[in-house]
A and B are shown apart, each in its own frame.
Chain A
């Protein structure tokens, strides 16, 4: 009956666990400088590019990705959208947001795909991962900010980390799904000719899972975009910061324009990754 009387000290346990973790400062500093390096790398490139060249590059990538079915509307939209962002003076914010999204998507990809592969290969691992992925996706994203600050301070890096945690599950799930969907007879064919597990993975399973896997990557990217406003609360710079400020100052106009810039960026990223996915077949 004590369960009704006294509250379980669950939050105390989490707190002491977090405190216990903070002693590994060396480890967290290492991660911070590593991710910080990637962020600075992207930002350095984006700052170096003149606006017109950046726009040309985006259009060129889209041109290449849609080569099997030109979409003039998309090119036109990208040109107009990017010019609008420039005109509204959100250019640097946009590149900062892009940096955050690209870095966290990249990390989600690098960690998520191997996890998805392991899930596809082992039923036990799949059974363990499924509830963890559910937790990662449904836990309110704000919650990740608290320990992220404790471990990684404020700035872009904790923003990237919390985005990765929130955005990674679709990549893991879709990798798992894509590999499990490969037809049995193709697996039998690969096995019957004496493929090793690695050969089967590289030559058969991953290539055939690719479009499903890419759909997961695309979703991860969109989810990490949805994290930019939240991440701005712990000092991740970008369009999110502008939205956050607008909320603070009760400025609906600025909130809308910054939000619009996020939407434009989201549409561009989504259409380009989708076009790449389609282009291969």
Chain B
């Protein structure tokens, strides 16, 4: 994976910029200590991370953690005190005003928490803003802006003004403005935080759908861990200007770096992040090509269950057999296990989020069979294991 954005040692100090502050920072003093000793506020303290091409990278933290400062340093809306930012290997800190403007025009688009739409411009003119200042001809830019608006699902609002639209719609315009510009990097600053929960979820889905098609590199700021876990390919957690942990959602849930992160994830709705693979258990199986009904019955007795899953020699899934039917078969002295195997078993895939299964899980009497892409039986889902995982017990088992 290529690194699209790379940030090294990035630091922002507000207020006094004495060399003493820098010294304290390199000594590893905390924000509170530096404020007490020098009166300067540390916004971001020596951040190091990279963002891969095409991923959604979420920067997570509570207010005051420095996440907004961090994202604004990436396009130098806030001038870093020290450190480097490179995009496609180009160091932004060495650019003059004009070159920086060019990078902002071509490579990055920003989407804001409170939408930041220009109230004096129509929706179409707002969307076309980035193109307009690049000097794109009116017809062309309006065409592109119109397409971007269609893409985010806004039809027929082209000539209205921002204040005539609801919050959710306004943020779609904000998103369209970012997309119309054709930038490879989207900087989204708490883009969905001002929306109500339903709208927020819609927009998250929409962003994921769009990302599927467009493969942008997205840096997304959020204070909501559920949102971060839902949309992030990787998550960076900040506290007091310092990066506490960077990792995939699963990393963070399963191996929280410290108590701060642990406290964060305690509140998480785990069903949103846990996939079937996290909660499935190993099933007892019999091989239909060589095992007979007696062995099947023994397996059930061993495990004190009333059914058994049936696979073939290649471990491909066939179905399952019920104890009653197997007993009937033995009474008839038949070895034809195939005649009693039921094939209408609910199946699912390891990557499916548990959330999507919750409803069905409670209404089906037979445990779900988890099949991989090659139709191999890799596990089954029983209700008890799912509940355990959601409660936070089962995650670490693998």
Contacts and interface: CB of A to CB of B under 8 A. Distances in A.
A133 to B, nearest CB: 28
Interface string B223-261: 000000000000000000000000000000000000000
* Interface SS majority for chain B: mixed
B102 A194 contact: yes
A279 to B, nearest CB: 14
B11 interface: no
Contacts of B49: none
Given A188-B77, A208-B119, A208-B120, A193 B114 contact: no
B14 interface: no
A205 to B, nearest CB: 11
A185 interface: yes
B319 interface: no
Nearest to A207: B120
A186 B112 CA distance: 9
Tier of interface size on chain B: 20 to 34
Interface stretch (A154-162, A195-203, A234-242): A195-203
B109 A193 contact: yes
Nearest to B134: A194
B133 A193 contact: yes
Given A188-B77, A188-B110, A189-B110, A194 B130 contact: yes
B324 to A, nearest CB: 68
Nearest to B125: A203
B129 interface: yes
A89 interface: no
21 contacts: A185-B113, A186-B116, A188-B72, A188-B77, A188-B110, A188-B116, A189-B116, A189-B117, A189-B118, A189-B129, A192-B104, A192-B108, A193-B130, A194-B130, A196-B101, A199-B133, A203-B132, A203-B133, A207-B118, A208-B118, A208-B119
Given A185-B114, A192-B187, 18 more contacts: A185-B112, A189-B129, A190-B129, A191-B104, A192-B104, A192-B108, A192-B110, A193-B110, A193-B177, A194-B102, A194-B130, A195-B101, A195-B133, A196-B133, A203-B132, A203-B133, A207-B118, A207-B120
Interface of B: 72, 75, 77, 101-105, 108-110, 112-114, 116-120, 129-130, 132-134, 177, 181, 187
Interface of A: 183, 185-186, 188-196, 199, 203-204, 207-208
Q: Which 4 A-B pairs have the closest CB atoms?
A: A194-B105, A194-B104, A192-B110, A189-B116
